[in-house]
Amino acid sequence: MRKRIHLCLAKMSEEGWGQKYIQEAFDTNWVAPLGANVNGFEDDLKRFLGGEPEVLAVSSGTAAVHLALLLAGVGPGDEVIVQSFTFCASAHPVKYLGATPVFVDSEPDTWNMDPDLLEEAIQDRIAITGKRPKAIVPVTLYGMPYKVDRILDIARRYEIPVVEDTAESLGSRWKGRAMGTFGRYGVLSFNGNKIITTSGGGALICPSAEAKAKALWYATQARESLPYYQHVDMGYNYRMSNICAGIGRGQMHVLESNIAHHKHLQRLYEELLAGVPGIEIHRQPGGMTDAGAEGSQPGADGVGQPVGDYDSNYWLTTITLDPALKIKGQERAYAGAAAADGGAAGCRPNANVEALRAVLDAAGIEARPVWKPMHLQPFYADAPAYLNGVSEAIFRVGMCLPTGPYVTDDDARYIVDTIKSAIL
């Protein structure tokens, strides 16, 4: 029986580095949410990000978003501008703080926050509420850098701090600089499906040692530095454990090869899907060079070098399906699903997308629709939103293909052959 091909699973270090650090934690009986592995993992991440930003390891990427917004001064009654086309973790922490997310739609090149709509939203919220939004949360969707220069220019002009949700983009760069280091704060995730994992976990990228110390205070229950327990503010239990950090330290040994493999698979998918009618693969603006594309090995130097400013880690390879494309079983795509989502046909992927997902699933291939935009989520039905139709259009036609380190070249060929066989 053929193995099931998962969407994206992080790869553990083949040299046993993760086990080494974890064993050290057990040997020293240091399994609490602090310790040598936590400090070492933070130092490793700091070096990878360029050596300047401070890094705080926390329990999840969502916790990092929450801490970043808290440190940016977000509180009850405030508004925060959030990219609509994203996972819910970009928006939920706004609600944790009693604030309101204001959703901004995407532009078609990167699928990330549209700078023109962002400025329109800021101006309109000032006119309506009489005050500026407290923060801007752009997202590097599927590892793709956003339009950094334009977003930061707008943020500077209106004096609004940027919290970069770079949970999906460790290793992505813009003009050679690591994503997550442009805003006041940056966010990373080490969930089990990311470029590297700590099983669960995340990190907050801070602009200074002082900011990190404040974040650490909040992340450790806001306990005062006294010989007894005293609290003058509400804190959170957000620190990463020494065990999880040990996994992360081991993962740093495979980070570069994981990134190279994701880029290699993107190139391979581009080649294999070239000329397939009705299917388009999403690429970074400018694309990548041909260096190493033919016959290269995962992790080889020169695979998928960027052209221009954008250098995506291609956390997930994404495709779009022409609405006119016919897929086997399309007429039965949503049979029996009406009760589950209230029959919201206008807020679903198209029938051919669901049909292709079902065909791939039956073949042992995990594929998923792209994120459903936040402005379409029932929970956020009343949130302000500034829309141009881009994210909703992509949601209806988009799909993510398996792109993890365990996906081989033969797997990619099998996936594309299965896609081709499903087209009528």
Both 311 and 383 in one domain: the answer is yes
Q: Measured between alpha carbons, how far is 258 from 13 in angstroms, rounded to an integer?
A: 10
How many other CB atoms are found less than 10 A from the CB of residue 402? 24
The verdict on 242 and 298 lying in the same domain is no
Give CA–CA dist 24/98, Å, rounded.
41
Listed residues 251, 278, 312: the one ending a domain: 251
Q: Which residue has the tokens 């407290």?
A: 134
Residue 293: pLDDT band by 50, 70, 90 thresholds?
very low
Average pLDDT over the chain, rounded to an integer: 91
Amino acid 379: pLDDT = 96
- pLDDT attached to residue 289: 66
**CATH number for position 87:** 3.40.640.10
Residues 47, 102: contact at Cβ < 8 Å? Answer: no
Q: Whole-structure pTM over 0.85, yes or no?
A: yes
Q: Do residues 238 and 281 share a domain?
A: no
Find all residues with CB under 8 Å of 405, minimum gap 6, and list them: 9, 10, 11, 254, 257, 258, 261, 262, 298
Tell whether the model's pLDDT for residue 133 goes beyond 70: yes
Domain boundary among 251, 266, 282: 251
Whether residue 383 contacts residue 375, with contact meaning beta carbons closer than 8 Å, is answered with yes
Of 130-144, 189-203, 328-342, which gets the smallest average pLDDT?
A: 328-342
Q: What is the pLDDT of residue 8?
A: 86
Q: Are residues 215 and 99 in the same domain?
A: yes
Last residue of a domain, one of 222, 251, 280: 251
Does residue 360 lie in a domain region?
Answer: yes
pLDDT band at 327 (very low <50, low <70, confident <90, very high): very high
Q: What is the CATH number of the domain that holds 319?
A: 3.90.1150.10
Instruction: Let me know: does 216 contact 33? Beta carbons within 8 Å.
Output: no
Phi, psi at residue 206, to the nearest 5°?
A: -115, 150
Number of domains comprising the chain:
2
Band of pLDDT at residue 207, cut at 50, 70 and 90 = very high
The helices-and-strands tally (H runs, E runs) of the chain is: 13, 15
Contact predicate 167/202, CB 8 Å: yes
Q: Which domain holds residue 117?
A: 17-251
Residue 8: closest CA among 265, 200, 264, 193: 193
What pLDDT is stored for residue 294 in this prediction? 43
Task: Assess whether 260 and 234 both reside in one domain.
Answer: no
| Residue 14, pLDDT above cutoff 90 | no
Residues 288 and 141 in one domain: no
- Same domain for 66 and 94? yes
Contact 282, 261 (CB under 8 A): no
Task: For residues 278-289, give the mean pLDDT.
Answer: 90
Show the tokens assigned to 230. Answer: 């005293």
Which amino acid is residue 205, in one-letter code? I
Q: Specify the pLDDT at position 85.
A: 98
Same domain for 321 and 409, yes or no, is yes
| Count of C-beta atoms within a 10 Å radius of residue 339 | 7
Tell me how far apart the alpha carbons of residues 89 and 92 are, in angstroms, rounded to a whole number: 5
pLDDT in tens, 19-65: 776 667 556 655 656 678 999 999 999 999 999 899 999 999 999 99
β-sheet bridge partners, residue 163:
185
Is residue 90 located within the same domain as residue 233? yes
pLDDT at 35: 79
Of the chain, the percentage scoring pLDDT greater than 70 comes to 88
Q: In terms of pLDDT, which residue wins out, 308 or 145? A: 145
Average pLDDT in the 118-140 region? 98
Residues 74 and 215 grouped into a single domain: yes
pLDDT at site 338: 55
229-272 pLDDT, tens digit per residue, is 999 999 999 999 998 999 999 999 999 999 999 999 999 999 99
Distance CA 276, CA 114 (A): 29
Percent above pLDDT 90 for the chain? 79
